[in-house]
Structure 1
Amino acid sequence: MPTNTVFTLPAGLLDETSAEATEMKPVLENLITAVLNKPYSTKITDLPAYQALRTQEAAYQGRLAIAIALAMHRCGDDYRVRYNLGDLLGALMRGTLGLDEAGYLRLFTLYGLDFSQPASATPNFWPFPVGLTLAQVGRLAKKQGALSPPMLDLLNNLLLHTTGQSGDVGKVSLKVQEILSLVGGAGSLPTVLFADGDPFGQQLNRFVAGLAPAAPATARWLRLLQLWQKANAGQPTAKLRQELAAAVAAVGPEAVRQQARQWLELLAAMPVLEETNTVNYESGRTYTYTSYVYLVEANAVVAKGLVWTAQPLADAALLHLLGNLAVKCYRKIPGKGPLAMGLGNAALLVLSQCGLPGVSALARVRPKIKQSNTQELITRHIEAASQELGVSPLEIEDMAMPDFGLKAGRAVIDFHEYTATLTLADGRAEMHWEKGGKALKTVPTALKANHATALKELKTTLAQAQQTYTALRDRLDRSFVEERRIAWPWFEQYYFQHGLMGELARNLVWRLHRADGTAQDALWQADAGQWQDAHGQPVPAPAAGTELQLWHPVLAPAAVLAWRGRLEAAQLRQPLKQAFREVYLLTPPEERTATYSNRMAAHVLKQHQFNSLAKLRGWKYSLMGAYDKGYESDQATLALPAHGLRAEFWVSEVNADGAWNDTGIWHYVSTDQVRFVRNEEPVPLPDIPPLVFSEVMRDVDLFVGVASVGNDPQWRDNGGLAQFRGYWESYSFGELGEVAKNRRGALERLVPRLKIGRVSEIRDRFLVVRGKRRTYKIHLGSGNILMEPNDQYLCIVPDRTARLPAGPGAPDVFLPFEGDAVLSIILSKALLLMDDDKITDETILRQLR
């Protein structure tokens, strides 16, 4: 502000005939002029004119407050004057005003709160002075113990019109509830009311209405529910934590825990309603859009208070519910982003503060949440918990792994004369029932009637065991690149003997680094009770000085075939691809380009599918849109902290007419280089550890192999971009990548054991099937089909839920790793086409004619 600028009062601003205005006109002229002309950095409270009036008695300051409100009422649209008057009034309100109820009612009327007029039944008011004035009324109510009927009428009307609002208006509602609770008289109950715009608020109101007025716990419950409406911040303050703890202690922790379970179950199960809205403009134009309704904003605040309250009460059931709620809150809503990020953040915060069980829950939900920033948030939570316990983040995740009472893949739970057995086999958690040694097909009816709660907890345990197993398997699969070595005592406790992780670790090959500097690769053989090498020879058991590292084929290429043969001979199915893992070695072209690889360049990917896969594998990527950014390329990145590296996979938008969706996100991206950087400088590829290079390239090959448009049999015929149809054909039937080569090796062993073996053979990159009508060539990479003799394309939309064939002879069909989706699709297509004379689907028959 220039120093020579002087602001003057608007004409007529103080021409008010009331006693307060007449008395205070000279004071206000001086005060407001000083406020309008003060430097921006100077506070109102530092002005000499303001400090002089603060020495006056409270009644004087009350009259001055009314005079300021009158001036605000007269200043019209002059926003600058109104804003400064509001600041001045706010400063006064933070002191003590000597006004009676009539004076405060006058202030409320000047603010626009005149509920006596129908036109102002829902007043539009400025919550800043209203909230501060309510604080004055609250002090007056506490002093008097009662309020007059006119003031009570105004407060009840204000509560009616602010309930369910958020932000500062929501704080007004909460303050009104507190004042009404103060003046209710001896034995009166706190006033609590929630927005009824969603099932959560409706259930809370029903709970309040169902509380018995005379019951001692009623007032305590209402006090707790009131506190939840204060959960406006990102984290609870120390004061709010103390208030919540005291309120929970007053109600009873177990009662709050049981009720919290019901409300959290509701929040996790509540539907997200999709509503279509149309706006009609005066010009005749209309605009239609879709909105998604889950929680109204005021109830999202209340739900956050509930979640914060659950932290000291969290048992296994609450942790499970909080994890489910977090996953739901980060569900992506078109055009909006996460469904309820604030509530989701609150759930993650609480999990992070629940010790090892909470960290375990965080590890379970992390793979289900795709947002990169939320993944980073979870990582920070785990790092903070590890620092508190004095261990590394990887070690705390080891320590946090629950075993659910499993021993050797089994946990037995007795229910009187019934027995439930939780089993974990081939990656599936199942519950089996028996009575007196006789197996039962379903849960006993008697238990459903008399032990409903216990059965519900058992069902939760089953779900958690399955989720944890999957999370641990994925964690191990992503851990190859870390090249982590684990000391045997730690490994024995948290891997080998662990009830859940043991089911994974015991079926994997480990490199045993001995204290003398030697290393041996070994697999635990349970039937022999010993560690053995790839040839079945015993290996000395690990000792205290031994460190174990997850074995990778790139560590010992010469031993890969021996390990594969060993697994097949022992009929041992590994929980993840290890011995049969694809290996990517540096090629001569990559040695020549030095700092980048073009091996995975020039592919066209479906961007949303690529994004999902990248997040699943721990990569960071943001969808590219046609609306901002200002550049045409971006990167998916993978942090490699164990090596001080970052991998980058460059992609570019595919810009074509209509090549974006309704929210402006490009449908397709084209692929480019893969690079590694350290301290923002490119690192020569020969300097990258071979295992790291192989795993990164495997991820990128997965992205291309799954998200490429070449894998979509309908892409060409359903409007796929014309300029990329040549790419679609070359990819659909071109050379095989490493994944497809592995698939061919599996099919070479598998097909002769199936009934398609008599009419099928592997030829180069195809599974060739001789049907009754035609001969078919199924590509081993894409699963797409050509028909002989003229290589006519046959479009068959695959069943993505297909699994390996079952039935007679199925026990002889063995894969030492879980079959991939394309492998199952190839086999299902082969089974269909070998009996092509029995096909009844008209869309297929038209192509065969």
Structure 2
Amino acid sequence: MGDWSALLPHLSDADRRQVETGVAEADERIRAVLRIASTYFWGSSVTSVPEWAAVESWPAEERRRAALAMHRESANGSIPTALNDVVRNLAAGDVPFTRADLVWCLEVVARGGGFDNGAHLELPALIAPRLTAAELADLVPALSALVSELVDDYFIAAGPRRRAVTLLGRAIDRATGSRLPAWLLHDGDTFGPAVRADLGAALVAPGVPELLEHCAALDKPAATAKWLRRLDELLAAAPGGRQVVRRLLDAFTAHGRTIHDDSDRLLRGLGWALSRERDEKATDLLARVTASAAAAPRQAAGFPHAPRTAIAAVRLLADRDGDVPLRTLARLAVTVRNKGVRSRVQAALTQLGARRGWSLSEVMELTVDDHGLGPDGCLRTPVGPYEATVEIVDDRARLVFARDGVALKGVPAPVKRAHGDELTQLRDVVKRVGATLVSERQRVEGLLSEERTWSYPDWSSRFLDHPVTATYGRRLLWETSTDGQRWTAGLPRRDGDGWTIVDRDGRALAHGSVRLWHPVRASTAEVLAWRGHLVAAGLAQPFKQVFREVYPRTPAEEKTHTYSNRFAGHILRYRQANALLRARGWQAGYLGTWDGGYDSEATKVLGGGAWRASFHQALVDNPDPHHYDVEYCSTDQVRFARHDGTTWLPAPVIDVPPLVFSEAMRDVDLFVGVTSIATDPQWADRGEDRFSAYWQRTAMAELTPSAQVRRDALARLLPRMAIADRVDLTDRYLRVRGDLGAYRIHLGSGNVMMEPDDAYLCIVAARAQTGRLHLPFDDDPMLSTILSKAIMLAADHRITDPTVLSQLRPTEIDSCRLSEWTTGA
């Protein structure tokens, strides 16, 4: 344990002898009972076996000595049995514990290691609250330091740790006369001390401490009727209780960071307290609490700020009326990465949609927040003599100021000085619009796996007139049909006050049903024609659609019947792969060197919730036994399941709808194509032979569908570039002719080989540079990387990077520079 033991008062020799003599007398007797009892139960409590009945009849003094003996055993760890119940049973009732007993117990805790079940904390936590304030006075420093250490000790199970902190906290409160329990809002996180300092006297107002204790005692997401009755009584007895509930929850929404598990439990109860209020402000606050609790810091990779609060708040929010709950939950459905929270969000949305006769997809679609933006995607607000505009530009929200119609750079100084609150509100709008843009991009792209159709008026209002969704809907290709059989593709174009769909020649198409165009349903000729149209017109789509990869089933996959091995056997950089998995909406357990951590099944729901794809990955052991970080994982099968009520039923590959199959396989191809070690240009320099064969085989392999699309995009882009006369496209490579030599860039991995002997050239691009070249999509970083390498190699005589120069042939460099010197170039 920590330095808290140095704060313990000295135990006199007489007191120590009195305690330890009693322990010695009880030691063998209690051991004998435990030896017999442990033959019945191994690794669990023994207080329910027949032999224990005799112990319960022992006199109080004998039970005291036995409890002290068991405390020593629990701290020394010599009996591998969970002793929590044993110690609590022995200490129950009117057992005459003394102050000396508590000091001795604390000394034993300080010396011993203890079990992770916290049995070594049971007895001191039980004794301390029984002593008087006078007996506890000189123990407060040590007890306070111990509690501070325990709140961060995650090696002890949550239940025993919380019980010990609560009981020891009550003893401290008795000794200090504190009205606010020490174990509430403790310093295990930054949230507790901050609200203690901010709310101050409000937290100790009449009835408030009791209300907070009750809220913190809620053990499950759902409150029982008995718990709620007591909650209502406490709210009625505390005049300022309801206001404190709101202030605490409001402070949490502004905190924006992960909180301690104890604070999480308190906030969960506070959420239930807030739910007793039915006004709109309470609904708005509950919505903000839900979003804040479900949010996750970047480094936590999906673990929410307050998971217990999030799960309870989702349920509470789903029981409220109005559009705020729908909008909040719809946004969370596409942004939350935690599996447990996300499943509850989707269930809540389904419940809310059922009340209004909507499917889950319709709920998501109809509840997109417009944040007050007009049809042009702008919100204009006067701020003093200036006009502030929140606008959407290039898929991003921004705040700009103007005066007398003249745009200004940055925020005017007078606005900062005199209109700070308004500026804060406007920046908050920008932040919220940005969050909606992110979630809408993910949602609209997810529609590519669904067989959804809309009536023309519904489609126009939801995808072209909505100020946020229109950012994406107006740049996508759609199909329209009047009979549901023959579909014609076109792009949206404004027509007077409304919108129409026009084909490549600008002819308006007949209005009817509308669906999102997907290349899997189109002919090769149509796909190529639309690709050419996009490049010629300089149109940039929000994500790959016209240039989207297509993955039809192969004979091999139909033969395996239940799975696909198309992307099995690859070696991926695990951390990068895991981050990309989650960014694409897949959920997966973490890999690690613990039990059950050696493999994982990543899953994603597609097709509007009707289908689920699963992608198996396994840990690749690190040869260094002292290195525990997971660097690499291997890939395996992709499988599919159909949703059947509340269960998922495995489905043959041949039964999976083409849209679902293609979109799932596209994601897996993306994971492999981006995070495979074969795309690492520095791999050959590492001297690591484990994966050399895989790297050599994959780095120059046949092109996957994503690389084939990349090749087609290059075929359309390169003729427009200044290096057009120096490049040629082959089946797998972009060949570049420089002044020093010729090079081949693999279109899948981006690796470069030098002709004529295929010597590997390592080029690490700090940042892809393609000049002012227009790209029809921006979600293929490898395309930009290949173009930047091609531009550099086409002018290889200008390369100054010493790491690249050292790999080029010295004779060619020297001869080129001699030529420049003699010609005066």
Same fold (TM over 0.5): yes
Q: Is residue 703 from structure 1 mapped to residue 671 from structure 2 by the alignment?
A: yes
1:438 is matched with: 406
Q: How does 1:31-430 map to 2 (within 5 A)?
A: 69=64, 72=67, 93=93, 106-107=96-97, 109=99, 112-113=101-102, 150=134, 153=137, 160=144, 163-164=147-148, 165=150, 166-173=161-168, 175-176=170-171, 190=180, 194-196=185-187, 198-207=189-198, 211=200, 218-219=205-206, 226=213, 229-230=216-217, 233-234=220-221, 250-251=239-240, 257=246, 260-266=249-255, 268=257, 298=262, 301-302=265-266, 323=291, 326-328=294-296, 331-332=299-300, 343-351=306-314, 353-355=316-318, 356-358=323-325, 360-364=327-331, 370-373=337-340, 375-387=342-354, 391-406=358-373, 407-430=375-398
Amino acid at match of 1:778: I
Structure 2's unaligned 5+ residue stretches are 1-17, 23-32, 74-78, 113-118, 151-160, 811-825
Q: Is residue 822 from structure 1 mapped to residue 822 from structure 2 by the alignment?
A: no
Work out whether residues 777 and 786 of structure 1, in 8 Å CA contact, stay in contact via their aligned partners in 2.
Answer: yes
SS in 2 for 1:328: coil
2:502 is matched with: 532
Amino acid at match of 2:507: Q
Q: Is residue 502 from structure 1 mapped to residue 467 from structure 2 by the alignment?
A: no
Q: Is residue 662 from structure 1 mapped to residue 627 from structure 2 by the alignment?
A: yes
Which of these residues, 471, 491, 495, is aligned with residue 523 of structure 1? 491
Structure 1 distance, partners of 2:658, 2:484, is 25
Work out whether residues 379 and 390 of structure 2, in 8 Å CA contact, stay in contact via their aligned partners in 1.
Answer: yes
2:733 is matched with: 766
SS in 1 for 2:683: coil
Q: How does 1:616-631 map to 2 (within 5 A)?
A: 616-625=583-592, 628=595
Amino acid at match of 2:522: A
Change beyond 3 A, Cα 1:315–1:727? same
Amino acid at match of 1:781: G
Q: TM-score, normalised by structure 1?
A: 0.72
Moved more, 193-202 or 676-685: 676-685
Change beyond 3 A, Cα 1:415–1:409? same
Moved more, 371-380 or 496-505: 371-380
Work out whether residues 47 and 85 of structure 2, in 8 Å CA contact, stay in contact via their aligned partners in 1.
Answer: no
1:556 is matched with: 522
Structure 1 distance, partners of 2:609, 2:186, is 52
User: Post-superposition shift, 1:437?
Assistant: 1.2
Amino acid at match of 2:768: A
SS in 2 for 1:615: helix
Structure 1's unaligned 5+ residue stretches are 1-16, 22-31, 54-60, 98-103, 138-146, 271-294, 807-812
User: Post-superposition shift, 1:71?
Assistant: 6.5
Amino acid at match of 1:469: L
Change beyond 3 A, Cα 1:155–1:387? farther
Q: TM-score, normalised by structure 2?
A: 0.74
Change beyond 3 A, Cα 1:553–1:594? same
Which of these residues, 408, 417, 422, is aligned with residue 449 of structure 1? 417
Change beyond 3 A, Cα 1:130–1:796? closer
SS in 1 for 2:749: coil
Amino acid at match of 1:706: V
User: Post-superposition shift, 1:780?
Assistant: 2.0
1:838 is matched with: 798
Structure 2 distance, partners of 1:148, 1:346, is 36
Amino acid at match of 1:171: T
User: Post-superposition shift, 1:434?
Assistant: 0.9
User: Post-superposition shift, 1:368?
Assistant: 5.6
Work out whether residues 352 and 362 of structure 1, in 8 Å CA contact, stay in contact via their aligned partners in 2.
Answer: no
Work out whether residues 294 and 341 of structure 2, in 8 Å CA contact, stay in contact via their aligned partners in 1.
Answer: no
User: Post-superposition shift, 1:441?
Assistant: 0.7
Moved more, 357-366 or 711-720: 357-366
Structure 2 distance, partners of 1:581, 1:628, is 40
CA RMSD of aligned residues (A): 5.1
SS in 2 for 1:735: coil
SS in 1 for 2:628: coil
Q: Is residue 757 from structure 1 mapped to residue 724 from structure 2 by the alignment?
A: yes
Structure 2 distance, partners of 1:712, 1:826, is 13
SS in 2 for 1:572: coil
1:472 is matched with: 440
User: Post-superposition shift, 1:152?
Assistant: 7.4
Structure 2 distance, partners of 1:408, 1:509, is 20
Change beyond 3 A, Cα 1:822–1:191? closer
Structure 1 distance, partners of 2:82, 2:626, is 47
Change beyond 3 A, Cα 1:493–1:221? farther
Change beyond 3 A, Cα 1:222–1:163? farther
Work out whether residues 348 and 362 of structure 1, in 8 Å CA contact, stay in contact via their aligned partners in 2.
Answer: no
Q: Deviations over 1:513-537 (max 9, x none)?
A: 5467664444321256322234432
Which of these residues, 431, 435, 449, is aligned with residue 463 of structure 1? 431
Work out whether residues 728 and 736 of structure 2, in 8 Å CA contact, stay in contact via their aligned partners in 1.
Answer: yes
Q: Deviations over 1:73-127 (max 9, x none)?
A: 5888799999888666777x5xxx8xxxxxx9x44548x3359x99699899977
Change beyond 3 A, Cα 1:260–1:593? closer
Work out whether residues 370 and 612 of structure 1, in 8 Å CA contact, stay in contact via their aligned partners in 2.
Answer: no
SS in 2 for 1:498: coil
Amino acid at match of 1:168: R
User: Post-superposition shift, 1:795?
Assistant: 0.4
Q: Is residue 717 from structure 1 mapped to residue 701 from structure 2 by the alignment?
A: no
Q: Is residue 729 from structure 1 mapped to residue 696 from structure 2 by the alignment?
A: yes
Question: Matched residue pairs, number?
Answer: 736
Structure 2 distance, partners of 1:350, 1:566, is 48
SS in 2 for 1:847: coil
User: Post-superposition shift, 1:582?
Assistant: 1.4
SS in 1 for 2:729: strand
Structure 2 distance, partners of 1:695, 1:301, is 39
Structure 1 distance, partners of 2:313, 2:584, is 26
Structure 2 distance, partners of 1:384, 1:832, is 56
Work out whether residues 553 and 583 of structure 1, in 8 Å CA contact, stay in contact via their aligned partners in 2.
Answer: yes
Amino acid at match of 1:347: A
Structure 1 distance, partners of 2:410, 2:805, is 43
Amino acid at match of 1:484: R
Amino acid at match of 2:102: L
SS in 1 for 2:807: helix
Which of these residues, 748, 771, 776, is aligned with residue 805 of structure 1? 771
Change beyond 3 A, Cα 1:661–1:702? farther
> How high is the sequence identity, in percent, across the aligned residues?
31
Work out whether residues 170 and 182 of structure 2, in 8 Å CA contact, stay in contact via their aligned partners in 1.
Answer: no
Structure 2 distance, partners of 1:258, 1:681, is 47
User: Post-superposition shift, 1:168?
Assistant: 0.8
Which of these residues, 578, 588, 592, is aligned with residue 545 of structure 2? 578
User: Post-superposition shift, 1:837?
Assistant: 2.8
Structure 2 distance, partners of 1:76, 1:200, is 34
Structure 2 distance, partners of 1:473, 1:490, is 19
User: Post-superposition shift, 1:743?
Assistant: 1.6
2:158 is matched with: none
Structure 1 distance, partners of 2:637, 2:121, is 55
Structure 2 distance, partners of 1:824, 1:174, is 59
Q: Deviations over 1:524-554 (max 9, x none)?
A: 2125632223443222334xxx4x4322112
User: Post-superposition shift, 1:775?
Assistant: 2.6
Work out whether residues 223 and 247 of structure 1, in 8 Å CA contact, stay in contact via their aligned partners in 2.
Answer: no
